[in-house]
Amino acid sequence: MTTVTRRYEFSASHRLHSPELSDAENARLFGKCNNPFGHGHNYVLDVTVAGAVDPSTGLILPLPKLDNLIDETVLKLFDHRNINLDVPQFAERVPTTENVILVILELLRQHWNAYLGDTAAQLLHVRIQETERNFFEV
């Protein structure tokens, strides 16, 4: 089995605030990320796919198919958006990057066959870099 990792970038803003906590608890827990006006990140998303190399093409999968999946299901939803307000999956979720990566994983699994069902490639790993020091993986 061979793997290929493809990198994507998107920018989005969010505010970390839980309605289940008091304003003081939110401020203490989330610090500057609880700013009422929100803040933004330039996210780096790595998607790793595994599969057998097709002997006739020499590829695990045509990368434009993976790009199309990511563009249509992730980037159009998140890029240059306010995650709290513009992404329906966060109507009742705190938009931590832990939750963002879980939503992205859910979207990729949900739409995988529609975009890549005719390939033997399988989703292996998803990673998001939020800052120079913060990485999240599933």
Distance CA 92, CA 80 (A): 20
Q: 37 is written with which tokens?
A: 């006006």
- Measure the N-to-C terminal CA separation of the chain; round to a whole number of Å: 19
Q: 106 is written with which tokens?
A: 């859910």
Q: Of 72, 111, 125, 130, which one is the catalytic site residue?
A: 130
Q: Of 33, 72, 111, 125, which one is the catalytic site residue?
A: 33
Q: Of 9, 25, 39, 80, which one is the catalytic site residue?
A: 80
Residue 130: active-site member: yes
Residue 55's SS3 state is coil
Catalytic residues: 33, 80, 130
